Amino acid sequence: MNETHHHVTLTVNGVVREATVPGRRLLSDCLRHDLGLTGTHVGCEHGVCGACTVLLDGEPVRSCLTFAVTVDGQEITTVEGLARDGALSPVQRAFTECHALQCGFCTPGFLCTVTAFLRDNPAPTEEEALEAVAGNLCRCTGYQNILKAVHRAAQMQATQIQAEEGGA
Amino acid sequence: MKPPPFDYRRPATLGEALGLLAEAGSGGKVLAGGQSLIPLLNMRLAAPARVVDVNRVPGLDGIEAGPSGVRVGALARHAAVERSPGAAAAQPLLRQALRLVAHPVIRNRGTVVGSLVHADPAAEMPAVLALLGGSVRLASRGGEREVPAAAFFTGPMESAVRPGELAVSAFFPALPARSGTAFHEVARRHGDYAVAGVAAAVTLDEDLRIAAARVACVSVGPVPVVADVTAACGPRPAASVAWDAVAAAVRDLVEPEGDIHATADYRRHLTGVLAVRALRDAASAAHGEES
Ligand SMILES: Cc1cc2nc3c(=O)[nH]c(=O)nc-3n(C[C@H](O)[C@H](O)[C@H](O)COP(=O)(O)OP(=O)(O)OC[C@H]3O[C@@H](n4cnc5c(N)ncnc54)[C@H](O)[C@@H]3O)c2cc1C
Ligand code: FES
Ligand code: FES
């Protein structure tokens, strides 16, 4: 079949990127194959594992359940875009400190999910943190360290904000 | 796996969308949030000739709440309806049920109307629409029609939407004064589709006795099973209702099937237990309304 291709422009991690894709190209595949951003992982392709979670205009979504053409013109943040000026973000640092990853396959999805979650809820309760990561699967860690990392990241962000306000 | 090829269209107006759907006939599929359609495409369980992506059609993302109820547009995401204070005030059952739909990340894309059209017998929103006696507005090139919930759900994963039609909105009516609602379910894992679940609505009379009580049960039939249990509950205050008898009445009304997740008997048992929990919570919410 001679498939029609569509031209899409996405702002990925602040950089304008272009690709020509068929309508059925999943956003996950567009990021990985067309744009070479392999940080976004693909586990199940039916929305269950959460490894492919990216931020679409700031909100976490499953990139495996989104067509690239649908989000033409919109902003995407992937795990590659979480660090600032070469320094890991508080969420990334907390994951390292708390041993919240082993093989790392699930990590990009958790990092994107938790980054958006803490932006909306900077001081979550145990239960809120649990609910926030319940949609992401991890085969290695047993989740306890991931939960610790969520709270650690919240602390780090609070301290960072205090320091910035104190310094200003 | 990856989706099979299809003719992708992204109309910029409602008229254009309806034209594209009319032309495609039974080969056309609407793409809203994609949280049910794209998994089906990825698993190659669906192979539409044309996909009409309505995400850019203006005017479909409205959430209009008023004294008579809430009208939810085709592009209102689960998350937007869940967060809407107006919707929660006019019909609290919406937020109660939406918190049980999948995970927050899925709710960021999935739409309430898409969930109704998808008509999964285990899904929460069809039960909510059926319990409240709401309706879905369908548009086609020929005009519009409003289909009541009782006629909308026609079978498992089957709704009254005909080829060429787009569901433009759904209406969830408000309940009278001194009413309360609740939704309880049991799922294997948090965020999974329910093994069994019950939505309840209770209205009290001026003496705070139960004047009307209804439940809608999911995962126990091809479509949501709505039952009026007023006779078993009222007219008595919630504290003196024979809840065991209510549970038995609900158990008798449903005809679940067994599958790998649960036997038919276990589903029937759960439905009785959940119905009582939901009805009691709905009754106390109705009390709260009063005070
Ligand atoms: C991991 C996971 C867990 C989930 N768990 C639950 C759960 O617990 N409970 C639950 O209820 N749902 C669950 N869902 C499904 C989710 O709620 C979907 O968002 C919803 O069922 C469909 O909405 P959508 O907008 O994504 O529709 P789409 O996927 O875009 O479409 C679904 C179907 O409806 C049709 N359609 C959609 N909108 C219209 C319209 N306006 N007019 C005509 N036809 C239309 C499409 O053609 C398609 O056939 C889950 C999904 C995933 C991936
Ligand atoms: S790959 Fe997208 S949720 Fe698993
Ligand atoms: S660290 Fe291996 S899957 Fe989570």
One-letter-per-residue 3-state SS of A75-128: EEECHHHCCECCECCHHHHHHHHCCCCCCCCCHHHHHHHHHHHHHHCCCCCHHH
Dihedral sign of CA atoms A76, A78, A83, A85 in order: negative
A144-167 helix and A107-120 helix, angle to the nearest 10 degrees:
50
Cα distance between residue A121 and residue A107, in whole Å:
20
Per the model's pLDDT, the better-predicted residue between B188 and B175 turns out to be B175
Predicted pLDDT at B288: 85
- B103: nearest CB among A3, A24, A134: A134
User: Using 50, 70 and 90 to split pLDDT, how confident is the model at B234?
Assistant: confident
Q: Does A42 sit in the ligand 2 pocket, CB within 6 Å?
A: yes
Which of the residues B103, B106, B118, B192 would you substitute to probe the A interface, choosing the one with the greatest number of A C-beta atoms within 10 Å?
Answer: B103
Mean pLDDT over B39-54 rounds to: 97
Mean pLDDT over B86-106 rounds to: 97
Extract the runs of DSSP E, i.e. beta strands, from chain B. Answer: 7-9, 28-31, 50-53, 63-66, 69-73, 135-140, 143-148, 153-155, 158-159, 166-173, 179-187, 194-204, 210-218, 225-228
B180-286 fold: Enolase-like; domain 1 (3.30.390)
Predicted pLDDT at B1: 80
What is the CATH number that goes with domain B63-173? 3.30.465.10
pLDDT one-digit tens code per residue, A121-134 = 999 999 999 999 99
Q: Which CATH number fits domain B7-53: 1.10.1040.10, 3.90.1150.10, 3.30.43.10, 1.10.1740.10?
A: 3.30.43.10
Atom of ligand 2 nearest to the CA of A44: 4
Any idea what the Cα angle at residue B87 is, between residues B291 and B112, rounded to 5°? 135
Q: Does A103 sit in the ligand 3 pocket, CB within 6 Å?
A: yes
The answer to whether the CB atoms of B53 and A67 lie below 8 A apart is yes
pLDDT one-digit tens code per residue, B111-136 = 999 999 999 999 999 999 999 999 99
Predicted pLDDT at A162: 86
CATH class of the A5-81 domain in this structure: alpha beta
Q: Does B114 sit in the ligand 1 pocket, CB within 6 Å?
A: yes
Mean pLDDT over B29-55 rounds to: 97
Question: How many other CB atoms are found less than 10 A from the CB of residue B42?
Answer: 21
Predicted pLDDT at B63: 98
Low-confidence ranges of chain A (pLDDT < 50): none
Spans of all domains in chain A? 5-81, 90-167
Q: Is B83 helix (H, G, I), strand (E, B) or coil?
A: helix
Which of the residues A70, A110, A115, A143 would you substitute to probe the B interface, choosing the one with the greatest number of B C-beta atoms within 10 Å?
Answer: A70
Q: Whose CA is nearest to atom 4 of ligand 3?
A: A138
Which secondary structure element, helix H or strand E, spans residue A62, and what is its range?
strand A59-62
Q: Which CATH number fits domain A90-167: 3.50.50.60, 1.20.1250.20, 3.10.20.30, 1.10.150.120?
A: 1.10.150.120
- A47: nearest CB among B4, B35, B51: B35
